[in-house]
Amino acid sequence: MKLIFVHKTAASRTLEIGRWSWAALSVICIGLPLGLMAMGYELGQRQGAAIAQEARLSEAELNASRRAGDLAQLSADARRKLEAMTRKLAELQVRVTRLDALGTHLTALAGLEGGEFNFAAEPALGGPMMPLLPESQTSLPAPLKDAFDGLSVALSDREMQLDILAGLLFDAEAQTEAIPAGRPVLSGWLSSAYGSRTDPFTGKRAWHQGIDFAGAEGDHIIAVASGVVSWSGERTGYGTLVEIAHGDGLITRYAHNRENRVEVGDLVRQGDVIALMGNSGRSTGPHVHFEIFKHGRAVDPSSYVRRTLR
């Protein structure tokens, strides 16, 4: 093949290329771009695979991190619940100890040593063998459930004995005064009734199992009935609390006090000053939260408040 190069000012030149030279030139002119394209495609594929692998690894690491975070959150929640249950168990144990001390004190006061009342012994139990629920159906671990069940039985036993003792310790006049009557304050006003209400802290509907009497800090709180002080001290939610057992299954509670004037085991008469009004516990201002329990169930105190003092 001949190639003729034409120039305006110079003579034309002719270049003769052989068949093999032309073939080599064709390969260079056509093959080189194709080779470069193939190399570029291969590099692109490798880079894309590397990026995809990195993305997969990043997603796996992210998922693993999320799972680890979820497990850590679950562990923290479980630890908080266990701590709450442990505190509740400790509170119940303290209540049993106080009731034992109160029972022993009252037994000695009534001169009943060696009699049927024994607060130092475990409650006598019995009954037919019943199958346990499968562990999956119980809400507490077996050791904690056993501890709570044991304390519940002990509390019921102590409360029953105290109820009988309270009845033995009062004369006829005191028995009449052992029925709650009147308001637990000398001055003040009803600020919240018994039943459903809007919770002052959460703003949601909630059940209020007592009635509130608002007043001034330090106002006198009086016993609405004669009885035996079964609790005097702090209790979760109630703040500083006085609880009095009146016999016949009746118990009154006076909560959020600034200061208690009675101790566990004290015999109080209707109208005695038992505490000073305060703002302790879950409270928004000075008041007394007043509850009445009958045979372990909270009842509306209003009917007792309306009774005439004798």
Average pLDDT, the chain: 76
Instruction: Tell me which residue of 266, 227, 218 sits closest to 245, measured CA to CA.
Output: 227
- Of 85 and 175, more confident: 85
Query: pLDDT per residue over 229-267, tens digit each?
Result: 989 999 988 999 999 988 888 899 999 999 999 998 888
**Vertex 230 angle, CA 225 and 234, to 5°:** 110
Burial class for 267, CB neighbours closer than 10 Å (0-12, 13-18, 19+): middle
The mean per-residue pLDDT over the stretch 70-90 comes to 77
Backbone angles phi, psi at 206, to 5 degrees: -150, 165
Q: What is the pLDDT of residue 15?
A: 56
Q: How confident is the model at residue 113 (pLDDT cuts 50, 70, 90)?
A: low
- Of 23 and 247, more confident: 247
Burial class for 88, CB neighbours closer than 10 Å (0-12, 13-18, 19+): middle
The percentage of the chain sitting over the pLDDT mark of 90, rounded to a whole number, equals 30
Q: What is the pLDDT of residue 17?
A: 60
The mean per-residue pLDDT over the stretch 73-88 comes to 77
CB 254 within 8 A of CB 275: yes
The mean per-residue pLDDT over the stretch 284-294 comes to 94
The mean per-residue pLDDT over the stretch 200-225 comes to 92
- Beta partners for residue 18, in sequence order: none
Residue 290, domain member (yes or no): yes
Residue 283, domain member (yes or no): yes
Whole-angstrom distance, CA of residue 55 vs CA of residue 42: 20
Q: What is the pLDDT of residue 300?
A: 95
Q: What is the pLDDT of residue 130?
A: 46
Residue 293, domain member (yes or no): yes
- Of 152 and 227, more confident: 227
- Of 135 and 121, more confident: 121
Q: Where a domain ends, among 22, 43, 60? A: 60
Whole-angstrom distance, CA of residue 290 vs CA of residue 288: 6
CB 208 within 8 A of CB 197: yes
Q: What is the pLDDT of residue 78?
A: 77
CATH code at position 228: 2.70.70.10
| Range in 19-23, 50-54, 87-91, 185-189 the model is least confident about | 19-23
Residue 88, domain member (yes or no): no
Q: Which of 15-24, 121-130, 299-308 tops mean pLDDT?
A: 299-308
Instruction: Tell me which residue of 207, 233, 228, 168 sits closest to 291, measured CA to CA.
Output: 207
What is the per-residue DSSP string for 174-205?
HHHHTS--S-SBSS-EEEE-SEEEE-TTT-SE
Residue 73, domain member (yes or no): no
Q: How confident is the model at residue 308 (pLDDT cuts 50, 70, 90)?
A: low
Residue 87: pLDDT above 60? yes
The mean per-residue pLDDT over the stretch 69-92 comes to 76
Q: What is the pLDDT of residue 174?
A: 62
Domain extent at residue 14: 2-60
pTM for this prediction: 0.53
Residue 203, domain member (yes or no): yes
Residue 35: pLDDT above 50? yes
Q: What is the pLDDT of residue 307?
A: 81
Q: Which single residue is written with the structure tokens 């330090």? A: 218
Q: What is the pLDDT of residue 115?
A: 54
Residue 271's CB is within 10 A of a number of other CB atoms, namely 15
Q: What is the pLDDT of residue 286?
A: 93
Q: Where a domain ends, among 43, 60, 77? A: 60
Q: Are strands 220-222 and 273-277 parallel, antiparallel or unpaired?
A: antiparallel
Q: Where a domain ends, among 60, 76, 100? A: 60
The mean per-residue pLDDT over the stretch 21-42 comes to 66
Long-range contacts of 203-212 (CB under 8 A, 24+ apart): 209/291, 209/298, 210/253, 210/255, 210/289, 210/290, 210/291, 210/292, 210/298, 210/301, 211/289, 211/290, 211/300, 211/301, 211/302, 211/305, 212/287, 212/288, 212/289, 212/290
* Number of separate domains in the chain: 2
Q: What is the pLDDT of residue 38?
A: 67
Residue 239, domain member (yes or no): yes
- Of 195 and 141, more confident: 195
Residue 278, domain member (yes or no): yes
Q: What is the pLDDT of residue 289?
A: 95
Q: What is the pLDDT of residue 127?
A: 44
Residue 98: pLDDT above 80? no
3-state SS assignment for residue 123:
coil
